[in-house]
Structure 1
Amino acid sequence: MRRSGIRRGGTPLVRLRRRLGLERNALRRRVDRVQRLIALGLLLLLLGAAPPLAALAVNWSYGAGMSAEHAEHANRRQVVATVTSTGGVGSVGDRYIHETVQATWPGANAQPHVGTLPSWKDVKVGAHRTIWIDQRGDPTVRPRPHSRTVTDAVYAGSAAVLGCAVPVLFAYALVRRRCDRHRDAMWDADWARMDAAGHNPRS
């Protein structure tokens, strides 16, 4: 069986263009052409504004992330902690006391520092673990990884593009709604003229 030359819906891109009123059609009226021109203008505005704003957001986020990386790497260092007690220290009734251990490690100026660390499986007195400490010698998290800086920069650029796209899409939605109302009014006027002339096929 031969396929019909008429495609029901066309490609997704064609359907999208038709839904947005952007495809060429000799039967379109002035309101359709106005809507098409406004849509084209909004698209050009988006293409002109989004890339530079995204670049600024990426550069700012990446620079802030690199500054945070350098600061944290300069103010934090790794030391080896030695477990001195597995009983933990806490207030009476502390339900999480069994999840900590007491340990000692070299703190500021290589002076011994005693504190509490999270426990781990099969921990025993005398066990060693490498930890990160800040300038005061207190345990802290590892310095900011570079992958987080890159990820934050990508998020910032995406947010900038989205921030530009949302107002543009909202503006087009308002234009489309206004044009649809105008088209409906024109259709009503055409049907009214046909009714008055007695040529309305619905009657």
Structure 2
Amino acid sequence: MRRSGIGRGGTPLTRLRRRLGLERSELRRRVDRVQRVIALALLVLLLGTAPPLAAWAATWSYEAGVRAEDAERANRRQVVATVTATGGIGASGDRYVHETVHATWAGENGENRVGTLPSWKGAKVGAQRRIWVDRDGNPAVRPRPHSRTVTDAAYAGTAAVLGCGLPVLVMYIVVRRRCDRHRDRMWEADWARMDADAGHNPRS
């Protein structure tokens, strides 16, 4: 005859209380239950604050990224640059230099613009390449890609979760250490009581 689930381990609520360490047991001290209750409270606090903050941070970052995408696309355009000379050397910060080419491209009003561009493989006089320019016709980097917006939003959500989780973790560590010290004192008192009882054993 099969036994019921209650016979094997009690009701689901009882088993949950046992796993969480909240049921009464002679082997579990009050400080153990207090620690578990505080841990559960901190967990509930984390679950109640981290997801909304992560959603807000991710949404704010995504919307800001989309606005940046739209602004950069509106202020930049692609033109065809034609190489007029090669073999130049241009400085790029204080750490390194790179090869450049002289090129011309169409400005905002159709006039020819002349400047230097970073060289690329196969660049030679007459070679053409599409480049991004700003409203003034100066070379610019390509507009912000949407993939970067999505990545930044994911980073923002993750940072929000970590920002919420770290203080909660620190609080739990502090509580755990204080409970451990209290348990150590209780064990020392119990051992001292056992030693005292052994020293006054009437059978000795």
- With normalisation by structure 1, the TM-score equals 0.81
Aligned residues with identical type, % of pairs: 70
Aligned length: 177
Measured in 2, the distance between the counterparts of 1:155 and 1:167 equals 19
2:138 maps to: 138
Would you say the 8 A contact 1:103–1:115 is kept in 2? Answer: yes
Measured in 1, the distance between the counterparts of 2:115 and 2:103 equals 6
More strand by share: 2
- What are the superposed Cα offsets for residues 6-39 of structure 1, whole Å, 9 maximum, x if unpaired? xxxxxxxxxxxxxxx9446721110000000000
Would you say the 8 A contact 2:80–2:131 is kept in 1? Answer: yes
Structure 2 unaligned spans of 5+: 1-18
Measured in 1, the distance between the counterparts of 2:47 and 2:199 equals 48
Q: How far apart are residue 96 of structure 1 and its match?
A: 3.9
Measured in 2, the distance between the counterparts of 1:96 and 1:69 equals 30
Runs of 4+ in 1 over 6 A off after TM superposition: none
Q: What SS does the aligned partner of 2:31 have?
A: helix
Q: What SS does the aligned partner of 1:108 have?
A: coil
Q: What SS does the aligned partner of 1:39 have?
A: helix
Would you say the 8 A contact 1:61–1:156 is kept in 2? Answer: yes
Q: What SS does the aligned partner of 1:87 have?
A: strand
Q: What SS does the aligned partner of 1:105 have?
A: strand
Establish whether residue 175 from structure 1 lines up as the match of residue 186 from structure 2.
no
Would you say the 8 A contact 1:89–1:102 is kept in 2? Answer: no
Q: How far apart are residue 157 of structure 1 and its match?
A: 0.4
1:49 maps to: 49
The CA RMSD measured in Å over matched residues stands at 2.1
- With normalisation by structure 2, the TM-score equals 0.81
